[in-house]
Chains A and B, each alone.
Chain A
Amino acid sequence: MTVRTAELLMAIATLLLSLGLMMKVYFDGLTIGWVDGRGPGAGVWPFWLSAGMALASLATLIRWFMGVTPESRSTEDYISRDTLFIVGVSAAALLGLLISITIIGTYLSLMLFMLLYVRFLGGHSWGMTMGMVIGTPVFIYLLFEVALTKYLPKGLPIFEEGFLWLDNFRYEWFY
């Protein structure tokens, strides 16, 4: 897809998003007009700002048709093959990280994420990979759970229970 096509599609998408937001505010029954003696209703801010977004998107569409923006004249690839690989894999790895955090918990997910990124994407040595795979969860545990006292997600109960011994150990010995 060229940058030119991407700009057109993005302008259409932003226009549809803006119209969708306006409809959402309107159909939720929020007052989008002036209330006598009180000023704007609850829906005025989001409704009219979304209308502004729609107008701005329309302006971009018109400028695209007129070839005003540099992007509307560019025939370069929007996302090149190389970029698609590195950015696509990174975004997919992040998506995988978020999914796995809810299933197997933060720490196991972090280990898998580091393994994937450092060893398979970065091509680093096993020594470096293992350092990151073990070091990152330890650092995160100390920073978030010990110092910031935040209970990070541990996943499904089976994984959570497996992790409880560590917390028990910490509370038994250090508090």
Chain B
Amino acid sequence: METILIPLGAGLLQAFEPLNLFMIITGCLAGLFVGCMPGLGSVNGVAILLPVTFLVPPTAAIIFLAALYYGAMYGGAISSITLGIPGASTAVATVFDGRPMAQKGKADSALMAAAIASFIGGTVSIILFTLFAPPLAAFALKFGPQEEFALMLLAFATFIGLGGDDIPKTIFSILLGLVLAAVGFDIISGQPRLIFFDMVEFQRGIGFLVLAIGVYGIGEMLWTLESTKGKVQMHNVKITWARMRSNFGQIREYINSTWVGSILGFFVGTLPAAGATPAALMSYGLAKTFSKDPDSFGKGNVAGVAAPEAANNAASTGSMLPMLTLGIPGSPTTAILLGGMIIWGLRPGPLLFTESPDFVWGLIGSLYIANVATVLLNIALIPVFIRVLAMPFTLLTPIIFVLCVLGVFATTDRMFDTWIMLIIGVTAYLLRKLNYPVAPAVLAIVLGPLAERSMRQSLISSQGDAMTFLERPISLTCVLLAVALATYPIIQKAVRNRRSRRAA
């Protein structure tokens, strides 16, 4: 326990340093803002603002982005409840009961429940994170390149098995990301690869940030413009001290589903393809199943708001666990954070705990503070964010576009990358309209170079013997799990077909 408490104390102290505290508060505010804007979520905020964080040292930068991640999870509920449009996909389940509550004039009660549930979800998950991270990182120190590659294989297989999207389209998305990551010089032989039209600009490769900002900045904004057409219908929210006090007393109605959602959210969040959206949906389903009054769900049951909100917050912390301990991101947002860590000169993975303890524990400490800061800011600023929601998209969109273009330029110093970003953004929008998932491509472009390096290192050390991946127990387990996950949808379909044939 001492091995956890002492560095945690140091991390908390670090989080209280003036710069870090300032980053936590600005991050929470930025996250709340990004989260409450319809269509924009943590991933968009982190992708668009990552270049701006080069202003500060890496620890302060990741603290800002993690606080933003947190804030966005809280903020997502605001638009789900008041507009009936999820602030991000992670807040979809919040709409089911949040909107009926707002229609009944109980928007304030729903917002309060969302904030409290998010806080409980956040707190539970941070405690679980603190307990699980050090032993997992210590265990991961045994990993060689074989295990690293097998783990990445497992991460991609999770997208196929649990992603719930069209499988050939998911595979295409993963492979496209991996191929785009191969543009530039080969890491082993130094040979140039995929230098299109012999343009020298491709020799430096396609940065993950170019793809991430293209997909989540440009592509997502085009998608949001299409889905909202710039017009939103907002519900009135009445907030008084007396109502706030009575809303606080309502906590007994949803506390049980909040605990369950928090624990479920954390563990679902650790899975690469799952993340906050399915965690929230599963938590909603569980709350409904075990409720004494399941028929009231979908008609304005406060537990239907609290359960998914607790889960999506817990999942956001959960997704950081594999990112920090194994170097495998648990969500698209953590994939971008991982890419950021590489830009800052850190090597994500188990060694991070021994090589950069200040960074890791500073981040963990800041999560505790960010959770408290966000719940306070969220409750205090509900009226402000409701005003922000009334801001027309024709003002927000050009600002985001400008930040995307200049953010990419500032990272790479090349106009060429801004062109690539625009092409990727428009393509991602067109692909997404046809149900091609884009998150696997972002994860793949971050993990691509690491996956190829670990695969080739393993094969060089085994003198080209591919059995090396099956001869080591951890690697073998991961490969078998990956195969099981990748074939799971096929088996599931075959079982379903057999059952329906029997029933017929």
User: Do B171 and A52 have beta carbons less than 8 Å apart?
Assistant: yes
Stretch at the interface among B32-40, B63-71, B430-438: B430-438
Measured between beta carbons, the chain A residues less than 8 angstroms from B186 are 30, 42
Q: Which residue of B lies closest to A147 (CB)?
A: B55
Measured between beta carbons, the chain A residues less than 8 angstroms from B194 are 21, 24-25, 28, 46
Q: How large is the interface on B (under 10, 10 to 19, 20 to 34, 35 or more residues)?
A: 35 or more
User: Do A98 and B172 have beta carbons less than 8 Å apart?
Assistant: no
Q: B5 near A: Cβ within 8 Å?
A: no
Number of A-B residue pairs at CB separation under 8 A: 175
B52's partner among A52, A132, A148, A153 (CB-CB below 8 A) is: A148
Distance between B408 CB and nearest chain A CB, rounded to angstroms: 11
Distance between B217 CB and nearest chain A CB, rounded to angstroms: 10
Q: What is the predominant secondary structure among interface residues of chain A facing chain B?
A: helix
Measured between beta carbons, the chain B residues less than 8 angstroms from A132 are 395, 398
User: Do B225 and A90 have beta carbons less than 8 Å apart?
Assistant: yes
Q: Mark B286-298, 1 if CB is under 8 A from A, else 0.
A: 0000000000000
User: Do A60 and B406 have beta carbons less than 8 Å apart?
Assistant: no
User: Do B431 and A39 have beta carbons less than 8 Å apart?
Assistant: no
User: Do B435 and A69 have beta carbons less than 8 Å apart?
Assistant: yes
Q: How far is the CA of A114 from the CA of B358 in the complex (A)?
A: 42
Q: How far is the CA of A110 from the CA of B418 in the complex (A)?
A: 15
B456's partner among A21, A39, A110 (CB-CB below 8 A) is: A39
User: Do B169 and A56 have beta carbons less than 8 Å apart?
Assistant: yes
Q: How far is the CA of A118 from the CA of B401 in the complex (A)?
A: 13
User: Do A50 and B52 have beta carbons less than 8 Å apart?
Assistant: no
Q: Mark B197-240, 1 if CB is under 8 A from A, else 0.
A: 00000000000000000000010011001100110000000000
Q: How far is the CA of A98 from the CA of B176 in the complex (A)?
A: 25
B463's partner among A37, A113, A143 (CB-CB below 8 A) is: A37
Measured between beta carbons, the chain A residues less than 8 angstroms from B426 are 91
Distance between A47 CB and nearest chain B CB, rounded to angstroms: 9
B410's partner among A39, A43, A78, A144 (CB-CB below 8 A) is: A144
Q: Mark A50-87, 1 if CB is under 8 A from B, else 0.
A: 10110011011001000001110000001100110011
Q: Which residue of A lies closest to B407 (CB)?
A: A144
Q: A3 near B: Cβ within 8 Å?
A: yes
User: Do A45 and B182 have beta carbons less than 8 Å apart?
Assistant: yes
User: Do A98 and B225 have beta carbons less than 8 Å apart?
Assistant: no
Measured between beta carbons, the chain A residues less than 8 angstroms from B455 are 40, 45
B402's partner among A37, A82, A110 (CB-CB below 8 A) is: A110
Q: B144 near A: Cβ within 8 Å?
A: no
User: Do B168 and A63 have beta carbons less than 8 Å apart?
Assistant: yes
Distance between B55 CB and nearest chain A CB, rounded to angstroms: 6
Q: Which residue of A lies closest to B418 (CB)?
A: A98
Measured between beta carbons, the chain B residues less than 8 angstroms from A86 are 225-226, 229-230
Q: What is the predominant secondary structure among interface residues of chain B facing chain A?
A: helix
Q: How far is the CA of A153 from the CA of B178 in the complex (A)?
A: 31
Q: How far is the CA of A135 from the CA of B166 in the complex (A)?
A: 44
Measured between beta carbons, the chain A residues less than 8 angstroms from B193 are 25, 28, 30, 42-43, 46
Measured between beta carbons, the chain B residues less than 8 angstroms from A121 are 394
Q: A156 near B: Cβ within 8 Å?
A: no
Within 8 A of A (CB), among B151-178: 166-169, 171-172, 175-176, 178
Given known A39-B460, A53-B172, A56-B175, contact A113–B398 (CB-CB < 8 A): yes
Q: Which residue of B lies closest to A46 (CB)?
A: B182
Q: How far is the CA of A118 from the CA of B406 in the complex (A)?
A: 19
User: Do A71 and B418 have beta carbons less than 8 Å apart?
Assistant: no
Q: Which residue of A lies closest to B223 (CB)?
A: A87
A113's partner among B225, B402, B460 (CB-CB below 8 A) is: B402
User: Do B179 and A46 have beta carbons less than 8 Å apart?
Assistant: yes
Q: How far is the CA of A79 from the CA of B459 in the complex (A)?
A: 47
Q: B16 near A: Cβ within 8 Å?
A: no
User: Do A39 and B459 have beta carbons less than 8 Å apart?
Assistant: yes
Within 8 A of B (CB), among A15-42: 21, 24-25, 28, 30, 34-42
Q: How far is the CA of A10 from the CA of B173 in the complex (A)?
A: 13
Q: B143 near A: Cβ within 8 Å?
A: no
- Chain B CB within 10 Å — which of A39, A40, A41, A124 has the most? A39
Q: B246 near A: Cβ within 8 Å?
A: no
- The 9 A-B residue pairs whose C-beta atoms are closest, nearest first, are A122-B394, A39-B459, A59-B168, A56-B172, A117-B398, A42-B186, A56-B171, A46-B182, A39-B464
